Structure 1
Amino acid sequence: MQKQKTYLDSFPDNNGYFGKFGGSFIPPELEKPFLQINEAYNKLSKDFNFLNELKSIRKHYQGRPTPIYFAKNLSSKVNGNIYLKREDLNHTGAHKLNHCMAEALLAKYLGKKKLIAETGAGQHGVALATAAAYFGLECEIHMGEVDIKKEYPNVTRMQILGAKIVPATHGLKTLKEAVDSAFEAYLKDTENSLFAIGSVVGPHPFPKMVRDFQSVIGFEAKEQFFEMTGKLPDMVTACVGGGSNAMGIFSAFIDESVKLYAVEPSGKGDKIGEHSASLTYGEEGVMHGFNSIMLRDEQGNPAPVHSIGSGIDYPSIGPEHAYLHSIGRTKIGLCSDKEAVEAFYNLSRLEGIIPALESAHAVAFAMKYAKEHSNEAILVSLSGRGDKDIDFMVENYPID
């Protein structure tokens, strides 16, 4: 009897589409290098030596598997059952290294000499600079001028690791502009460089490739949670900007009867420029080489966005998230700046875990959800730690 194909085996299709979302909308000069990346990934994803090397790196260098932790004190506060998948304990302090080490390994197999990338909160930049140092590659990180000031501890880390920081000084000077800048730099040297996209966004094959590299989160969590509790969680939740940590943890549960909530940043209001909630307020459109749901201004251009979390203030979302939401497989959770700040301090003081502000969005939503679903087991992707945010927090949201 032929084995039934899983969701992950079925999506995306050969052209990189999840339903009508995804694809590759790129200038002609990028078609060849992106085809080369796709062909290399299709080959290496089945290559024993590549997979074995990646497995060894994850175990002996990254410190995987990361644990699941039952947040007893936080759960008691809301009369719920909240568990955390501790990606903050992954080397460099976030989930980003899961795909960065893999992308750098791919670059090595392709004979590339340089990694180019964008970063928002700096976690992807730190992770890629780490991977570049490990493999002896050059590294160039593009970062919005606003985020450079806000997340300066991560800028320092990237510089110590040997990365060149390129400020994005146009537009709002945040994540979208950093992506624009990185794309322009990559166009100038596709022969020697790999554009290591930092989320499940961009032209095919990056939404699939980054999802696959991040799926280690979900498959570890599924096994660990069952071993710990004897069942699967009732609900799994994660913050989304582009959505890499969310697709990572969702991957293992899509074919299961588990509720999946993608938590968007509702920022400080529902007007354009006050939030980054693409699925909630957006519409279909193409940006940065892929078709998805995006926030637009009155002229139809990418809208200005806002979030207290620099890693999730992006005016679109990964195409797979758009597809899963369109078919009803995932639901949207919302978290405001204020709620994220409260969750940041709650988790810090109740559990001794300082979360990234991005991750605090998922924690805040889990706390709200738990108050209304006290019997459900909730698994949160704690995508990163908050070292990068502590100066910003004490300056702008002083401790009581």
Structure 2
Amino acid sequence: MSSITEVLPRARGGVMADPGPRGRFGDHGGRYVPEPLVAACDEVAAAFQEAWADAGFRRSLANLLALHVGRPTPLTPAWRLSAELGIDLLLKREDLAHTGSHKINNVLGQALLASRMGRTRLIAETGAGMHGVATATAAALLGLEATVFMGEKDMERQAPNVFRMRVLGAEVVPVRSGSRTLKDATSQAMRHWVGVVDEAYYCVGSVIGPHPYPYMVRELQRVIGDEARGQCAAELPAGVPDFVVACVGGGSNAAGTFAGFVGTPARLVGVEAAGGAGAARGREGVLHGFRSSFLQDGDGQVTEAHSIAPGLDYPGVGPEHAHLRDLGRARYVTVEDGEVVEAAVRLARTEGIVPALESAHAVAWVIRAAASGELPPGASVLLTLSGRGDKDISTLMELL
């Protein structure tokens, strides 16, 4: 693996930049879709390129993020936990964004794009339900219809989010095939899109899928990293944290955070679920229209992922994360379910913040790394708290 100093010149020269018309991040990314979706993806790519270069579109999105979402989100010092761990831990508070997670940043951008393209309905997949809630919220705000595909297993363990989506006016479609989780919801949403491309827009929730979605979602989530970069410059003596840490399933909150720091000396760490470690333990393959690193069996078949956090219950990782791993610019580690629960409770009892179980993966690694010395005493750590834990209260009640 290359050292940080070795990859910094490459990072400044184009890592986390526009992947070009083929949507390739090194060996990863691209577009592997049925012929009926080729034109649809081309249309989305052209529309986003035009919109992203339009100052009016950017102003409209910025206004919504400020007035409806509550951006910028705060950078909160975790004073008590920092003292216990012997480090300087700063939390980027995406849990305080409207709807309770970072997902709304991406969805509002895509919903504005869908309206600009003349689409009247949003299609989405969801695991933990937060992307579904964000999609239903954006649809209600902009006068669009919304259809959200969700695995039946996830609907059972995230019932409050299912109710929120329906209150907001969205149709929630249970997916009963396969593992009945995020992978199968994504597959069903893409199959549905094939038949309705002329009137519906597929609003992908993470940095996955065929080009241009991994690039587009990262750009829409870049607001996290850009804000945090400026906030760290004002908060930290060195201006840049020693470590930047975020949980990774598909990887949108991590991609958005890393984009703000990829050209700095900060060490980038993505934390995956031990049962869904596409970056840390996967092999090259193709799923859901893109090439990346996936959990596979000996015959090359994609295997099921497992995580206590439904938002990380995905067998692969976004193609740009696989590229950052290959370059050695980001490191991907895993934590176990038990560590996650302990971390969620510890953050709650030291800082008065109950994190989403997804976010608690990042907290768990920081706690473990501080105890082992992997995080040196006094190290400054920026951690993106991607969501709040309201949705996981029933799971925690069963375990505690």
Structure-1 separation of matches of 2:12 and 2:325: 21
Query: CA deviation digits over 1:285-336, x for unaligned, max 9?
Result: 0100000001112332210110001001101100000000001000122111
Structure 2 residue 383 is the aligned partner of structure 1 residue 380: yes
Question: Once the 2 structures are TM-superposed, how far is the Cα of residue 14 of structure 1 from its aligned partner?
Answer: 2.2
Structure 2 residue 330 is the aligned partner of structure 1 residue 322: no
Query: CA deviation digits over 1:248-307, x for unaligned, max 9?
Result: 1000111111100010111xxxxxxxx101122211001000000011123322101100
1:393 partner amino acid: L
Q: Is the 8 A contact 2:285 2:292 kept in 1?
A: yes
Q: Tell me which residue corresponds to 2:247.
A: 239
Structure-2 separation of matches of 1:375 and 1:291: 39
TM-aligned CA distance change 1:9 to 1:364, over 3 Å: closer
Question: Once the 2 structures are TM-superposed, how far is the Cα of residue 393 of structure 1 from its aligned partner?
Answer: 1.0
Structure-2 separation of matches of 1:168 and 1:302: 18
Question: Once the 2 structures are TM-superposed, how far is the Cα of residue 8 of structure 1 from its aligned partner?
Answer: 5.7
Structure-2 separation of matches of 1:378 and 1:114: 40
Q: Tell me which residue corresponds to 2:99.
A: 92
> Paired residue for 1:391, among 384, 390, 394?
394
Pairwise mapping of residues 197-346 of structure 1 onto structure 2 (< 5 A)? 197-230=204-237, 231-266=239-274, 275-346=275-346
Question: Once the 2 structures are TM-superposed, how far is the Cα of residue 9 of structure 1 from its aligned partner?
Answer: 7.0
Q: Is the 8 A contact 1:356 1:385 kept in 2?
A: yes
Structure 2 residue matching 1:236: 3-state secondary structure: strand
Q: Is the 8 A contact 1:118 1:143 kept in 2?
A: yes
Structure-2 separation of matches of 1:118 and 1:289: 14
Structure-1 separation of matches of 2:116 and 2:219: 18
Q: Tell me which residue corresponds to 2:6.
A: none
Q: Is the 8 A contact 1:285 1:293 kept in 2?
A: yes
1:352 partner amino acid: G
Structure 2 residue matching 1:222: 3-state secondary structure: helix
Q: Is the 8 A contact 1:68 1:86 kept in 2?
A: yes
Structure 2 residue 162 is the aligned partner of structure 1 residue 162: no
Pairwise mapping of residues 27-38 of structure 1 onto structure 2 (< 5 A)? 27-38=34-45
1:118 partner amino acid: E
Pairwise mapping of residues 151-190 of structure 1 onto structure 2 (< 5 A)? 151-190=158-197
Structure-2 separation of matches of 1:87 and 1:10: 23
Structure 2 residue 130 is the aligned partner of structure 1 residue 119: no
- Identity of aligned pairs, percent? 45
Q: Tell me which residue corresponds to 2:5.
A: none
Q: Tell me which residue corresponds to 2:59.
A: 52
Q: Is the 8 A contact 1:214 1:248 kept in 2?
A: yes
Query: CA deviation digits over 1:335-356, x for unaligned, max 9?
Result: 1100000011011111110100
Unmatched tracts of structure 2, length 5 or more: 1-10
> Paired residue for 1:150, among 146, 151, 157?
157
Pairwise mapping of residues 133-144 of structure 1 onto structure 2 (< 5 A)? 133-144=140-151
1:39 partner amino acid: A
1:242 partner amino acid: G
1:259 partner amino acid: R
Q: Tell me which residue corresponds to 2:3.
A: none
Q: Tell me which residue corresponds to 1:269.
A: none
Structure 2 residue 32 is the aligned partner of structure 1 residue 25: yes
Structure-1 separation of matches of 2:256 and 2:192: 28
Q: Tell me which residue corresponds to 1:272.
A: none
Question: Once the 2 structures are TM-superposed, how far is the Cα of residue 10 of structure 1 from its aligned partner?
Answer: 3.8
1:84 partner amino acid: L
Structure-1 separation of matches of 2:283 and 2:268: 21
> Normalising by the residue count of structure 2, what TM-score does the alignment of the two structures yield?
0.95
Structure 2 residue matching 1:215: 3-state secondary structure: helix
TM-aligned CA distance change 1:90 to 1:6, over 3 Å: farther
Structure-2 separation of matches of 1:216 and 1:356: 20
> Paired residue for 2:84, among 77, 81, 85?
77
TM-aligned CA distance change 1:234 to 1:9, over 3 Å: closer
2:131 partner amino acid: H
Query: CA deviation digits over 1:86-132, x for unaligned, max 9?
Result: 00001100000000000000000000000001000001000011000
RMSD: 1.2
Question: Once the 2 structures are TM-superposed, how far is the Cα of residue 78 of structure 1 from its aligned partner?
Answer: 1.6
Question: Once the 2 structures are TM-superposed, how far is the Cα of residue 5 of structure 1 from its aligned partner?
Answer: 6.9
Q: Is the 8 A contact 2:16 2:262 kept in 1?
A: no
Count of residues in Structure 1 that have an aligned counterpart in Structure 2: 386
Query: CA deviation digits over 1:174-195, x for unaligned, max 9?
Result: 0100001111111110000000
2:197 partner amino acid: T
Structure-2 separation of matches of 1:152 and 1:188: 29
Structure 2 residue matching 1:348: 3-state secondary structure: helix
Deviates further, 9-18 or 134-143: 9-18
Q: Tell me which residue corresponds to 1:366.
A: 366
> Paired residue for 2:136, among 126, 129, 144?
129
Structure-1 separation of matches of 2:49 and 2:13: 17
